[in-house]
Amino acid sequence: MTPQEIKAKIQAAYTASLQNRAVMYGMRTSPLDHQFRDLKLYGRDAGADFADTNLGRIIDEAVAVAGRKQPSMELQVYGWGRAAIDGMAETLRHRTDLKVEISGSTVQLIWAEDNPALI
């Protein structure tokens, strides 16, 4: 899939979920979380390789999260070096065409603005 197709797939799941009036509760543990807990990575190439290798799983998880009306997904990494986090974020930016932000040991994929309307 091209980066534009990946972005469109995730945004389509998010848009469809917003059109559904049902309330979606989704505070489940990500299957990716277990991988991150058991893995220590150092170096930009290691983070980039991890993102490339697990891109399908990351996309599937992002589609599931978008389907629960969430505008973004956070990937919490444990014990990774800063360069590995940067490498993963850079790869995800290029491979998904999504906005990717880093905050400490969290990489966030963003596909929509979170702007609640006031009543």
What gap in Å lies between CA 25 and CA 55, rounded to an integer?
A: 25
pLDDT (tens digit per residue) in 17-31: 988 876 655 555 677
Write the CB contacts of 98 (distance below 8 Å, at least 6 apart in sequence): 6, 7, 10, 62, 92, 109, 110, 111
Boundaries of every domain in the chain: 3-20+30-110
pLDDT (tens digit per residue) in 31-68: 777 777 788 999 999 999 999 999 999 999 999 999 99
pLDDT value for 79: 87
pLDDT value for 25: 58
Dihedral angle of Cα 98, 101, 106, 107, to the nearest 10 degrees? 20
pTM confidence score: 0.87
